[in-house]
Amino acid sequence: MLRMSTLLLRTLRDDPADAEVASHRLLVRAGYVRRIAAGVYSWLPLGYITLRNIERIIREEMDEAGFQEVHFPSLLPREPYESTNRWEEYGPNLFRLKDRRGNDYLLGPTHEEMFTLMVKGEYSSYKDLPLSIYQIQTKFRDEARPRSGIIRGREFVMKDSYSFDLDDAGLAVSYEKHRNAYIKTFERLHMKYNIVSAVSGAMGGSRSEEFLAPCPTGEDTYVLCEKCGYAANVEAMITKVDAYAGAEPAAMEIFDSPSTPTIDSLVTLLNEKFGEGYQASDTLKNVLLMADGKAISILVPGDREVDLKRLEANLPGVLELRLFEDADFAKHPGLVKGYVGPQDAAKFGITVYADPRVVLGSHWVTGANERDKHVRFVTHGRDFTIEKFIEAAEVRAGDLCPNCSTPVVIDRAIEIGHIFQLGRKYAEALDLTVLDKDGKSQVVTMGSYGIGVSRAVAAIAEQTYDELGLNWPREVAPADVHIVATGKDDLPFNTAEQLAKELEAAGLRIMLDDRRDASPGVKFKDAELIGIPFIVIVGKALADGKIELRVRRTGDKSEVLLESAVAQIVSVVTAN
RNA sequence: CGGGGCGUAGCGUAGUGGCUAGCGCGCCUGCUUUGGGAGCAGGAGACCGGGAGUUCGAAUCUCCCCGCCCCGACCA
């Protein structure tokens, strides 16, 4: 039983000055966490109970799915991370340190290497697979900008699992099992979430999905179709296009277009010159970039920008991507800044990619590769060709859902889980192989699955808080029932004490406000701020032999006869 | 890492060159009070983020450093 009279807790009446987002503000005010450094937090009793409740739910669901829990140190030697090249690759986000002998160590930002090595150390036969193992562990990442309290910390608790399979079909099964376990877990946590397609990117692998908890303070933006439920990371959004249905375009026609380096100025000129209701989307923008030292051009309709993150996610294997600079133009004398067109790209040695909207057979107004000249009726397939289509144009609210053509919305969310098919990258780097049926050595294929545990505390707070304070789902809350005793004599306190014992015996977790020196107002405010889902008040109504039961979430209040209180409370609470 | 803001007691804050750094919450003592953050009286708690400088005199001005928050870049 938790007792307010002795609990290490001091609620704050004012919002802390350094907390902006609601979850951070309330978790500090309600005495759950305290900031120690940027992105580093201590957990007070209430907070730690809540965190452990979430851990327990996750653990139960992982065990239920047949995954085995293991545990690795946070303090790790350099070598394993050397063989996968991540000692370097992880860059400044890695906390590095030295022991007294000067040997390099790191604080684990993620544990792919250790999991892989653990399996390598024990297993060597296909008969041992499939295997899924997980841990709940503190991770360390020296983020450039920790933010939003415990939503993005530099030290945080994460559940990470890895699956090990002989082949892709097995990986698909393990992936699906994790996906289902995650669905069950987040349902139990009472979270609202969307499963969103993501781009697996440089990590390789074929499938990747994120569990995103919609929330205005979230730092991820994603695309959602409210009609069919299609959800995708902005990077993974698929552009819906129709085949070109117009007439065969006229031959290319070059025209003078002095001082029209921008799309706007070009559209104005087009309408003056040809009067045909030209729009920015009729022009073709040629965005020039350097990809690992190679010049590439991305063709997008003139009303769209190139989204560099999206481009990068869809250009696997490219390490350095940047926009053309003046020096790059100098190296490609055929290219005239502001007047570039794809017609001569092959001649200039430029690889051309195009947004899917630049469909085969469509015609465009674009640069003539001559100063002050543009050209119209430039037709894809006839006048230029591309290397391939690429999803690189910015995504906007109102773009069409690839499944059902409904305009999509763009929403914000907190990433609470991520599952993806890792493939063989780590198994290859660390030489994790097993012998198959035929006695041949096979590289194992892996999946990687994460849940942000400490982040979930904040995400749940964000999705449930109200103007009175925190407002937890029952399983997550630090207790089921918060009993408040008010009054000046012993009767309500003794009654509350007795009630607390009986409810506890009935299996409920109880917080008892047994403070004699606090006024009723203070106790009510504290109870609401702390956010335990049921509040029982033992006070004034005792005169009629009753207690009051309140439901924090709905604000419902009802009076219950003391004799039947235990049964009533248990039934209301467990029905929830 | 770029841009912006802030650093005064546990928390929230006032104080822009001049008395002993002020107030509210919280904390301690006593009395009163007990259904919506009670009242009165008394009290403890601050090297004003750190260092250097300017000045007769610095929380206040200057320089350097550190820390924190927000926007952006970044984020297996």
CB A150 within 8 A of CB A130: no
Question: Is there contact between A71 and strand B, defined as CB under 7 Å from any strand atom?
Answer: no
pLDDT digits 0-9 by tens, A415-466: 999 999 999 989 999 999 999 999 999 999 999 999 999 999 999 999 999 9
Residue A205: pLDDT band with limits 50, 70, 90: low
Percent of chain A with pLDDT over 70: 99
Q: Which residues fall within 8 angstroms of residue A555, CB to CB, at 6 or more apart?
A: none
Q: Tokens for A523, please give them.
A: 């106790």
CA distances from A238 to A191, A195, A197, A199, A408 (A): 27, 16, 10, 11, 12
From A62-71, A81-90, A455-464, A567-576, the region with the lowest mean pLDDT:
A81-90
3-state secondary structure of A380: strand
Question: Is there contact between A109 and strand B, defined as CB under 7 Å from any strand atom?
Answer: yes
Question: Is there contact between A570 and strand B, defined as CB under 7 Å from any strand atom?
Answer: no
Taking the C-alpha atoms of residue A216 and residue A21, their distance in angstroms, rounded to an integer, is: 10
Taking the C-alpha atoms of residue A535 and residue A538, their distance in angstroms, rounded to an integer, is: 10
- Which bases along strand B come within 7 Å of a protein CB atom? 1-2, 6, 10-13, 24-26, 33-38, 67-76
Question: Is there contact between A517 and strand B, defined as CB under 7 Å from any strand atom?
Answer: yes
pLDDT at A173: 96
Q: What share of chain A is helix, strand, coil (3-state, %, to 5)?
A: 30, 30, 40
Amino acid residing at A24: H
pLDDT digits 0-9 by tens, A131-179: 999 999 999 999 988 999 999 999 999 999 999 999 999 999 999 999 9
CA distances from A169 to A60, A166, A448 (A): 26, 8, 16
Taking the C-alpha atoms of residue A361 and residue A426, their distance in angstroms, rounded to an integer, is: 44
Distance A14 CA to B53 C1' (A): 38
Which nucleotide shows the minimum CA-to-C1' distance to residue A12?
Answer: B11
Taking the C-alpha atoms of residue A17 and residue A30, their distance in angstroms, rounded to an integer, is: 15
CB A384 within 8 A of CB A378: yes
Q: Is the pLDDT of residue A203 over 60?
A: no
Q: Tokens for A214, please give them.
A: 């919609």
Taking the C-alpha atoms of residue A323 and residue A387, their distance in angstroms, rounded to an integer, is: 19
Task: Report the run of H or E that residue A231 belongs to, with start and end.
Answer: strand A231-233
pLDDT at A202: 47
pLDDT at A405: 94
Protein residue closest to B12, using CA and C1': A14
For chain A, give the mean pLDDT. 93
pLDDT digits 0-9 by tens, A473-516: 999 999 999 999 999 999 999 999 999 999 999 999 999 999 99
Question: Is there contact between A394 and strand B, defined as CB under 7 Å from any strand atom?
Answer: no
- Determine the average pLDDT of the residues in A263-283: 89
- Determine the average pLDDT of the residues in A13-37: 94
Question: Is there contact between A502 and strand B, defined as CB under 7 Å from any strand atom?
Answer: no
Question: Is there contact between A406 and strand B, defined as CB under 7 Å from any strand atom?
Answer: no
Residues of chain A (172-191) having a beta carbon less than 7 angstroms from strand B: none
Residues of chain A (14-33) having a beta carbon less than 7 angstroms from strand B: 14-21, 24, 29
Q: Tokens for A344, please give them.
A: 């001569």
Contacts 24+ apart (CB under 8 A), A173-180: A173/A130, A174/A130, A174/A132, A174/A447, A175/A207, A175/A419, A175/A421, A175/A447, A177/A65, A177/A66, A177/A132, A178/A65, A178/A132, A178/A419, A178/A447, A178/A449, A179/A209, A179/A419, A180/A65
Q: Omega into A130 within 30° of 0, i.e. cis? A: yes
Taking the C-alpha atoms of residue A221 and residue A224, their distance in angstroms, rounded to an integer, is: 10
Which of A337, A193, A183 minimizes the C-alpha distance to A260?
A: A337
Secondary structure (H, E, C), A71-90: CCCCEEECHHHHHCCHHHHC
pLDDT at A481: 98
CB A43 within 8 A of CB A51: yes
Question: Is there contact between A423 and strand B, defined as CB under 7 Å from any strand atom?
Answer: no
pLDDT at A337: 84
Which of A175, A117, A211 minimizes the C-alpha distance to A431?
A: A117
Which nucleotide shows the minimum CA-to-C1' distance to residue A516?
Answer: B34
Q: What is the set of domains in chain A, with CATH numbers? A: 12-237+410-462 (3.30.930.10), 253-389 (3.90.960.10), 481-574 (3.40.50.800)
pLDDT at A15: 93
Backbone φ and ψ for A92, nearest 5 degrees, come out as -70, -10
Quick one: angle between helices A453-464 and A22-29, nearest 10? 100
Distance A9 CA to B58 C1' (A): 39
